[in-house]
Amino acid sequence: MKKVYVLEDNDDIREIIEFLLVDGGYNFTGFPNAKSFFQGIEGNTPDIFILDIMLPDGNGLDICRDLKERQDTKNVPVLMMSANTDMMTTKNRCKAEDFISKPFDIDDFVGRVDHLLKDNIAS
Residue 3 backbone phi and psi in degrees, to 5: -95, 130
Tell me what pLDDT residue 104 has.
93
Other C-beta atoms within 10 Å of 82: how many? 20
State if pTM tops 0.85. Answer: yes
Question: Per the structure, how many domains does the chain have?
Answer: 1
CA gap 123, 120 in Å, rounded: 5
- Computed over every residue of the chain, the mean pLDDT equals 92
Residue 30 backbone phi and psi in degrees, to 5: -110, 150
Strand pairing of 58-59 and 54-55? antiparallel
Q: Is the pLDDT of residue 89 over 90?
A: no
Of 39, 40, 37, 41, the C-alpha closest to 51 is: 37
Residue 85's pLDDT band (cuts 50, 70, 90): low
Domain that holds residue 13: 3-122
Of 57, 46, 55, 45, the C-alpha closest to 113 is: 46
| Domain containing residue 101: CATH number | 3.40.50.2300
**Are 104 and 80 within 8 A, CB to CB?**
no
Express each pLDDT in 43-84 by its tens digit: 999 999 999 999 999 999 999 999 999 999 999 999 999 887
